[in-house]
A and B are shown apart, each in its own frame.
Chain A
Amino acid sequence: DAGITQSPRYKITETGRQVTLMCHQTWSHSYMFWYRQDLGHGLRLIYYSAAADITDKGEVPDGYVVSRSKTENFPLTLESATRSQTSVYFCASSESRQNYGYTFGSGTRLTVV
């Protein structure tokens, strides 16, 4: 199906473990983004990518790693999960700058225990 898919939808992990959240889009959009959503903070940008092999830090990148070897995939890795990384994570993609807005995935709810 066309669209943007995140997996898993729900994940529980232990402190210190490595976790990878997957994001896949079928439109070949150039831009992709990872946000986290926390009560009282709205959405905060973690990392973004303008194209394959081009990534850059957002507002809250510490503790996260991204890669983008293919245009359609943009995985987010928590190298050593902490409780403060318990959140809902959203991936988004965009065809071009500004005017088209973003298309969001359905989110991954991550709990770190």
Chain B
Amino acid sequence: GDSVTQMEGPVTLSEEAFLTINCTYTATGYPSLFWYVQYPGEGLQLLLKATKADDKGSNKGFEATYRKETTSFHLEKGSVQVSDSAVYFCALTLNDYKLSFGAGTTVTVRA
């Protein structure tokens, strides 16, 4: 079935470090891809999205590019802050409205 695999955490970084979270997908068609972020004690929030190949989603300094050739949607940020500490989820949807989520990656940024 359609699924998302993202890198296991936890990931611990120092402030201003570069962050990459890998996400690859398996799908029978051409999915839309999403990154969600969950801050402690809160629900998930949409961080960014891309709906077709080569699209780049961006928000709050985070970027991800939809790579059809490698079936990937890696999340990157050039300089993280303590406030970026959260759990990050990669997700996809195909021709319906059901999102399939990865297992989540916990990121901790230390001052």
Closest to B4 in A: A42
A-B contact count (CB 8 A): 56
Closest to B94 in A: A98
Which interface residue of A45, A58, A99, A101 has the most chain B CB atoms within 10 A?
A101
Q: Are A50 and B97 in touch, CB under 8 angstroms?
A: yes
- B101 beta carbon closer than 8 Å to chain A: yes
- B83 beta carbon closer than 8 Å to chain A: no
Q: Are A99 and B49 in touch, CB under 8 angstroms?
A: yes
- B44 beta carbon closer than 8 Å to chain A: yes
In the complex, chain B residues whose CB is within 8 Å of the CB of A106: 41-43
CB under 8 Å from chain A, chain B span 10-34: 32, 34
Which of B34, B89, B93 contacts A42, CB < 8 Å?
A: B89
Closest to A48 in B: B98
- B51 beta carbon closer than 8 Å to chain A: yes
Which of B32, B49, B101 contacts A43, CB < 8 Å?
A: B101
In the complex, chain A residues whose CB is within 8 Å of the CB of B101: 35, 42-44
Contact flag A90-B97 (CB < 8 Å), given A42-B102, A98-B32:
no
- The interface on chain B, measured as residues whose beta carbon lies within 8 A of the other chain's beta carbons, has a size of 22
In the complex, chain B residues whose CB is within 8 Å of the CB of A97: 93, 96-97
Closest to B31 in A: A98
Q: Are A41 and B103 in touch, CB under 8 angstroms?
A: yes
Residues of A within 8 A of B (CB): 31, 33, 35, 40-45, 48, 50, 58, 90, 92, 94, 96-99, 101-107
Residues of B within 8 A of A (CB): 32, 34, 36, 41-46, 49, 51, 89, 93, 96-104
16 A-B pairs whose Cβ atoms sit less than 8 Å apart in the complex: A40-B103, A43-B104, A44-B101, A45-B99, A90-B43, A96-B97, A97-B97, A99-B49, A99-B51, A101-B34, A101-B46, A102-B44, A102-B46, A102-B99, A105-B43, A107-B42
